[in-house]
Amino acid sequence: MTQNSDSPARAAGSQTLDRGLRALELLAEASGPVSIARLAEGLGVHRSNAYRVLRTLEDHRFVLRDEAGMIRLGPRLAALGRGAAASLQQAALPELGELANSFGFTTFIAMLDVDEAITLLSIEPTHGHANVAQRPGAKHPISRGAPGYAIEASLDHREHQALLGGAPLSAGAAEVRARGYAISNDEVIPGLTSVAVPLRVAGEPPAALAVVCIGLPEDLEALARSMREAAVRIERSAH
């Protein structure tokens, strides 16, 4: 007998999957391992329900628990992550490393995810000090921060209408179109500056090539020029 999409079994299955995916998001957003109590609170469920979700994720090695029972993401997720926008990641990796080591700033790719800019790939310089970490999976609304402005600036009219519902181009995105790059300070994390340029690869969501640093870069124009040139090479190589 075939079940329709509104059947209790289908609804229960969807709810379980939703909780499992949300649990992974909560762990990714946490600054360190979390307790089962905190996970249950984040999911809005009883601890027994959180345990059931956790056991399934553990069975597939998506999460790990230490001796104290604290939960963290497992190595299996790294394998999944490598498959996301694989050609873009392959093309971007050497360019990110070159930029990071040439200018001494953490360099990353942020990609549009619904209405947020989410970090896909990040490289820290191999030398220097006071480097800023930018973890893959970190996200913020595209309405603030240089990566968000760069992504918005790259949207065509149809994409802009679909995403922003006819709202006018933001001031940050307008500046990107005028000068070729975005810069923001204190907008996502207090004390940090980000510079970003648009990055469009066929078949992938709109993205941005960005750096994050403490304070204003000494030679902003040289940095922005190198970032634009790197973005062009990535776009060509990722086809």
Question: CATH number of the domain at 83-237, please?
Answer: 3.30.450.40
pLDDT for residue 3: 40
- Residue 83 is predicted with a pLDDT of 56
Q: Out of 3.40.50.740, 1.10.10.10, 2.60.120.10, 3.40.50.880, select the CATH number for domain 8-78.
A: 1.10.10.10
pLDDT tens column, 118-161: 888 899 998 765 677 777 778 889 999 999 999 999 999 999 99
Mean pLDDT in residue range 204-209: 93
Q: Give yes or no on whether 8-78 and 83-237 have one common fold.
A: no
pLDDT tens digits for 47-62? 999 988 988 888 888 8
**Model confidence pLDDT, tens digit, residues 163-194:** 888 789 999 999 999 999 999 999 988 889 99
Band (109; pLDDT cuts 50, 70, 90): very high
By DSSP bridging, strand 63-65 and strand 71-73 are antiparallel
Confidence of residue 5 (pLDDT cuts 50, 70, 90): very low
What is the sign of the dihedral through the CA atoms of 167, 172, 174 and 177? negative
What is the per-residue pLDDT for 1?
Answer: 36
Distances (CA, A) of 126 to 104, 132, 229: 8, 12, 22
| C-beta separation of 153 from 210 below 8 A | no
pLDDT of res. 130 = 61
pTM above 0.85, yes or no: no
Identify whether the C-beta of residue 130 lies closer than 8 Å to the C-beta of residue 214. yes
What's the token pair of residue 219?
Answer: 């030679």
- Give pLDDT tens digits for 7-44: 444 455 578 888 988 888 888 778 788 999 999 999 99
State residue 9's pLDDT score.
45
User: What are the extents of the domains in the chain?
Assistant: 8-78, 83-237
Q: Is the pLDDT of residue 117 over 50?
A: yes
pLDDT at 128: 61
More confident residue, 91 or 197: 197
Residue with tokens 């345990």: 51
Cα–Cα distances (Å) from 22 to 16, 35, 76, 102, in that order, read 10, 15, 17, 38
Average pLDDT value over all residues in the chain:
86
Question: Residues 209, 231: contact at Cβ < 8 Å?
Answer: yes
